Amino acid sequence: MVFIILSLVAVAGCNHADTAGKREPALSFGGISTGASEEEITGIMGKPSESSAKDQTKEIHYIGANGPNATFVLVNNRLVKGYWYPSVFDAKVKIPITKEDLDLSKPHKLEQVDCYETAKCDHYVFEQGKQKLQITMDWENKRIDRVILE
């Protein structure tokens, strides 16, 4: 499973052409990138705990014993937004869990955000074209608390 090793920015999905006609790798987390289909997501994550659909929008949810693990919002069967909660993630899929699991050599912004009452947490923002990957660490800045890919 190559996506296990490629923790943050993967070549798993290529969907942006540059001026020379070559494709850039899409931002991804856990091997899933924006534009992925439901079949691609379930191929990586397995069967969802629940799902709901209205018009062209579908949400698929993965819920574990400790709470929500991941939620994916698809429009016309293409991922537009994904949320992960690695701090409670208990699925069999390997995803980055700690700061050491992240590839922070990629261009990004580092912000300090309020979290857990008065604590400040590191918040990493990776942007590529219209895509954005946000990773917020826990109050000790050791474990990933939440991830948003859009």
Q: What is the mean pLDDT of each run of 10 residues along the chain (150 residues)?
A: 34 37 69 95 92 96 85 97 87 84 90 86 94 94 93
d(CA 99, CA 102): 6
Give the whole-angstrom CA distance, residue 150 versus residue 139. Answer: 24
Q: Is 77 left (phi over 0), alpha (psi -120 to 50) or beta?
A: left
**pLDDT score for 94:** 82
pLDDT at 6: 34
Is pTM, for the whole model, over 0.85?
no
Whether residue 126 contacts residue 106, with contact meaning beta carbons closer than 8 Å, is answered with: yes
Query: Which pLDDT score is estimated for 21?
Result: 46
Domain boundary assignment for the chain: 2-149
- Size of the chain, expressed as the number of residues it contains: 150
